[in-house]
């Protein structure tokens, strides 16, 4: 670690000291490579023929590390491999338990050497690797303990994120899987780490995803330079400049939130109140730090980095695996439905998804995030039980070869979805066969003291996302595409260019709506919660208001009337929904399904806020006080005629009069003047005009349109053809014709 600390401060040295230091470190690098010649351990990719530099050996490592390690293990349990970051000592998995928690093997030292955590821009890689372990405590203690509280919020955020990214399209459509899943996991992780205020902030989500990708690129580019030049070159490489800028942007988002909390906390203390305690990573880090200094923005990027990289890779890979296994997808759906129906939606539900757990562990076995794990830096010479000595300063890793060993896993090249489910049912393996349980035979999450502390959260997050995807979507590989994992040294990532095609899966949608949908917590008929059929039927029957009143009398002021609709009845709720917002809050927009008849163009009834304002402005002159006064004679004439005609029909009070009909007559006569410049002459003829007759018929058509708009896309055309009465369709055609003739001089009808 002393050498690493020196390297971190190289850029601050004066030229003479810098030159001396560079020479010394250059000599040290030469000594390290020359020591390989005297080491008792073989080198699997040593320089060949006339190769002077190790560049070719490094290229062989980056492109073919798996086969190099396999050939090395066939000859020796310990061997050197020249990596892009210098020589590494590869160990057989037989040593995994022996070194898993060895005090002289530094995890932090390995990360510092591999990801330059002491160089500016790479600070997030330092979290959890230093002695104080603030970050590790926050993950192990606070995050793991909070899993029960975040299950429902994660589920709700998954619904929001998937609807935006995968859409509710009822047609097959291609998506770029890797970038899509990166965004999904970033949003879900931010929901837990930072809460509602930031988790949907597009700037924050972009920063977290970009830094996750860009930091690995920058780290690899920096490894191309000698150790002693890296702190200097980091100032000039565009990739390193980019991640420093991203950290500054992160700071610009996180710091104002912290300042707001500080002010709010102090205000509460001054008022003698208990300050609010937040359930997020900002609060966890503050509590874990116990007064020790730390950078909050760097810590949040560290949380995102740890969560996004491995979790998105796991979810991407398991989806690619499942694309070729429809029988497994069907079995997983069955398990989710059964468990959800028995347990409801809670933390323990995830534990009981045992087939899903087995699928995740098997997917990770076949394609872990890397082919070497337990990366450590030897702080001193370390003697192992068989006499092997790990030299001081050696970068060490353990091969994951046992994950593909036929002696441990029969037919290891085959994806067996039930492999770990069967093993879990075997005595003595009830716990070790679970996806969160690392072992020397399965080191997908590492092993020992530094096994991934966030694996419990990661597995829960993946399971929640999979539950939503399985019940809401069907999916397949994009036409003609065959995914291939990307091999890069010890890293083994899911295909970054993979594309899949999802579409809405209706058979599972009812269960999804009942248990996973954000509105699932609201009361109402189960048919209304599961499908749109309840509300559609009420529209077709024409008794929606009466049925809604019955539901409110039964269930209360808030009722779920369809999978994505609520009905409110209290005056205060109406004000909050339809009233003007204060404090800069955005007004709720109109639901596009409302006031939308079949084939209706955008109008003032269904317009959004901006278009509504535009129409209102166009019509403003017609409703000004001046215009209304100019129209007063016309209105007065109609009222006088109304009184006259009612006297005539009522025979001066001796015969009954249908007041509603006469009200409609005077109203529509006036509307005729305003709209068409001439009267419908309803008052004069004592009967309704044909235009008005078909207009009332259109109210029925609008109700049918409301119902059909809620049906699945594939059912909308058949419903339009078969469920709307011919008379209503005929009236709609007549109405359109009357609107285009330019005159109301058409015989009225009784």
pLDDT tens, residue by residue, 405-416? 999 999 999 999
Tokens read off for 152? 């429902």
pLDDT for the residue 131 = 56
pLDDT for the residue 4 = 35
Any idea which of 52-56, 223-227, 630-634 has the lowest mean pLDDT?
52-56
Checking if the pLDDT of 32 tops 60, the result is: no
Residues 6 or more apart from 624 whose CB is under 8 A from it? none
The predicted-structure confidence for 512-551, as pLDDT tens digits, reads as follows 888 888 888 899 999 999 999 999 899 888 899 999 999 9
Residues 6 or more apart from 605 whose CB is under 8 A from it? 595
pLDDT for the residue 434 = 95
Q: Indicate the pLDDT class of residue 745, thresholds 50, 70 and 90.
A: low
Q: Largest Cα–Cα distance in the chain?
A: 125
More confident residue, 571 or 653: 571
Distance CA(580)–CA(588), nearest Å, equals: 9
Q: Indicate the pLDDT class of residue 575, thresholds 50, 70 and 90.
A: confident
pLDDT for the residue 406 = 96
What does the pLDDT average to over 53-75?
A: 92
pLDDT for the residue 613 = 83
Any idea which of 21-30, 231-240, 428-437 has the lowest mean pLDDT?
21-30
pLDDT for the residue 451 = 87
What does the pLDDT average to over 280-300?
A: 83
Question: Which of 83, 75, 87 is CA-nearest to residue 38?
Answer: 87
Sign of CA dihedral 150, 156, 157, 161: positive
Q: Indicate the pLDDT class of residue 129, thresholds 50, 70 and 90.
A: low
Q: Indicate the pLDDT class of residue 234, thresholds 50, 70 and 90.
A: very high
Checking if the pLDDT of 631 tops 60, the result is: yes
pLDDT for the residue 581 = 66
Residues 6 or more apart from 635 whose CB is under 8 A from it? 670
Distance of CA 266 to the CA centre of its chain: 34
The predicted-structure confidence for 434-477, as pLDDT tens digits, reads as follows 999 999 999 999 998 888 888 998 999 999 999 999 999 999 99
pLDDT for the residue 352 = 93
Instruction: Report the percentage of the chain scoring pLDDT > 90.
Output: 43
The predicted-structure confidence for 189-209, as pLDDT tens digits, reads as follows 988 888 877 888 899 999 999
pLDDT for the residue 130 = 58
pLDDT for the residue 3 = 36
Checking if the pLDDT of 749 tops 70, the result is: no
Average pLDDT of the chain is 85
What does the pLDDT average to over 382-391?
A: 94
pLDDT for the residue 24 = 52
pLDDT for the residue 261 = 86
467 is in an annotated binding site: no
Q: Indicate the pLDDT class of residue 357, thresholds 50, 70 and 90.
A: very high
Torsion, Cα 109 114 118 123, to 10 degrees, reads: -110
More confident residue, 599 or 555: 555
- Residue identified by tokens 């076995």 is 365
**Residue 249 CB neighbours (<10 A):** 17
The predicted-structure confidence for 415-436, as pLDDT tens digits, reads as follows 999 999 999 998 888 888 999 9
pLDDT for the residue 715 = 79
The predicted-structure confidence for 163-181, as pLDDT tens digits, reads as follows 889 988 888 999 999 999 9
pLDDT for the residue 13 = 42
Are 296 and 249 in contact by the 8 Å Cβ rule? The answer is: no
Checking if the pLDDT of 28 tops 60, the result is: no
All domains of the chain in start order, with CATH: 2-504 (1.10.630.10)
pLDDT for the residue 385 = 92
pLDDT for the residue 2 = 36
Are 513 and 529 in contact by the 8 Å Cβ rule? The answer is: yes
More confident residue, 595 or 398: 398
Q: How many CA atoms lie within 13 A of 229 on its CB side?
A: 11
């Amino acid at each position: 670690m002393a050498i690493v600390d020196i390297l971190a401060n190289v850029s601050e040295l004066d030229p003479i000291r810098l030159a001396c230091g560079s020479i010394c470190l250059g000599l040290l690098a030469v000594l390290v490579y020359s020591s390989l010649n005297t080491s008792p351990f073989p080198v699997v990719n040593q320089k060949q023929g006339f190769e002077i530099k190790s560049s070719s050996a490094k290229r062989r490592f980056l492109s073919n590390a798996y086969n190099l390690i396999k050939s090395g293990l066939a000859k020796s349990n310990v061997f050197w491999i020249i990596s892009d970051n210098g020589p590494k000592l590869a160990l057989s998995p037989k040593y995994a338990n022996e070194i898993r928690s060895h005090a002289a093997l530094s995890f932090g030292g390995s990360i510092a050497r591999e990801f330059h955590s002491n160089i500016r821009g790479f600070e997030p890689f330092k979290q959890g690797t230093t002695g104080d372990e603030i970050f590790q405590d926050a993950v192990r203690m606070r995050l793991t303990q909070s899993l029960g509280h975040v299950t429902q919020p994660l589920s709700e955020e998954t619904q929001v994120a998937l609807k935006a990214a995968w859409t509710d399209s009822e047609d097959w459509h291609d998506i770029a899987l890797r970038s899509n899943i990166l965004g999904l996991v970033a949003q879900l992780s931010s929901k837990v780490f930072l809460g509602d205020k930031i988790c949907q902030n597009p700037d924050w989500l972009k920063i977290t995803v970009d830094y996750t990708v860009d930091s690995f690129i920058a780290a690899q580019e920096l490894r191309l330079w000698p150790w002693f030049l890296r702190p200097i070159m980091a100032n000039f490489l565009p990739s390193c400049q980019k991640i420093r800028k991203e950290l500054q942007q992160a700071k610009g988002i996180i710091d104002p939130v912290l300042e707001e909390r500080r002010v709010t906390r102090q205000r509460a203390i001054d008022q003698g109140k208990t300050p609010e305690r937040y359930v997020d990573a900002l609060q966890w880090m503050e509590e874990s730090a116990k007064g020790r200094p730390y950078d909050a923005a760097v810590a949040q990027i560290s949380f995102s980095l740890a969560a996004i990289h491995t979790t998105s890779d796991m979810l991407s890979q398991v989806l690619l695996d499942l694309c070729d296994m429809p029988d497994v997808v069907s079995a997983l759906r069955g398990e989710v439905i059964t468990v959800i129906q028995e347990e409801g939606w809670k933390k323990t539900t995830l534990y009981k998804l045992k087939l899903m757990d087995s699928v995740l562990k098997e997917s990770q076995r076949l394609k872990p995030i890397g082919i070497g794990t337990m990366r450590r830096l030897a702080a001193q010479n370390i003697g192992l039980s068989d006499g092997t000595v790990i030299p001081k300063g050696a970068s060490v890793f353990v091969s994951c070869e046992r994950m593909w060993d036929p002696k441990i896993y029969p037919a290891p090249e085959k994806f067996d979805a039930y492999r770990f489910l069967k093993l879990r049912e075997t005595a003595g393996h009830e716990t070790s066969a679970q996806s969160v349980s690392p072992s020397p035979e399965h080191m997908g999450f590492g092993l020992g003291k530094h096994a991934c502390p966030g694996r419990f959260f990661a597995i829960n997050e993946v399971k929640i996302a999979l539950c939503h995807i399985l019940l809401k979507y069907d999916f397949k590989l994009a036409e003609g595409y065959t995914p291939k994992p990307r091999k890069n040294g010890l890293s083994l990532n899911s295909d970054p260019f993979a594309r899949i095609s999802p579409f809405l899966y209706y058979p599972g949608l009812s269960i999804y709506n009942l248990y996973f949908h954000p509105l699932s917590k609201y009361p109402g008929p189960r048919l209304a919660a599961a499908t749109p059929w309840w509300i559609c039927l009420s529209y077709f029957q024409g008794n929606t208001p009466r049925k809604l009143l019955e539901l409110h009398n039964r269930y209360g002021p808030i009722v779920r009337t369809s999978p994505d609709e609520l009905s409110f009845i209290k005056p205060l709720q109406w004000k909050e929904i339809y009233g003007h917002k204060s404090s800069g809050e955005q007004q709720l927009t109109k639901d596009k399904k409302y006031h939308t008849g079949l084939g209706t163009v955008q109008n003032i009834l269904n317009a959004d806020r901006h278009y509504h304002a535009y129409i209102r402005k166009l019509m403003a002159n017609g409703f000004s006080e001046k215009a209304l006064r100019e129209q007063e004679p016309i209105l007065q004439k109609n009222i006088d005629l109304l009184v006259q005609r009612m006297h005539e029909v009522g025979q001066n009070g001796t015969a009954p009069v249908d007041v509603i009909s006469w009200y409609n007559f005077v109203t529509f006569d006036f509307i005729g003047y305003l709209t068409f410049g001439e009267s419908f002459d309803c008052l004069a003829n004592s009967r309704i005009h044909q235009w008005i007759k078909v207009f009332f018929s259109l109210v029925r058509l609008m109700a049918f349109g409301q119902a059909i708009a809620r049906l699945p896309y594939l059912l909308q055309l058949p419903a339009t053809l078969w469920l709307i009465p011919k008379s209503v369709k005929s009236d709609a055609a007549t109405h359109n014709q009357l609107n285009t003739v330019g005159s109301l001089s058409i015989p009225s009808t009784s």
